[in-house]
Amino acid sequence: MQKPLILILCTGNSCRSQMAEGILRRVAGDIVEVQSAGSNPAQFVHPKAIFTAT
């Protein structure tokens, strides 16, 4: 059975939607597929929206 897809959509897709996608993947990634997109995507992801686990 395929996982339901949740699409988080905003205008720039450079910060908030990226963060929401990451959080939702962390808490529900085993039961849903999560993607984010922008209607007018920025050329980059804001550096403060990127988390790297060390």
**pLDDT of residue 51 exceeding 90:** no
Query: How far apart are the C-alpha atoms of 32 and 42, rounded to whole Å?
Result: 26
pLDDT confidence of residue 54: 55
Query: Rounded to the nearest 5°, which phi and psi values hold at 22?
Result: -65, -45
What's the whole-model pTM score? 0.78
> pLDDT category, 44, cuts 50, 70, 90?
confident
What is the four-CA torsion angle of 22, 20, 36, 52, rounded to 10 degrees? Answer: -30
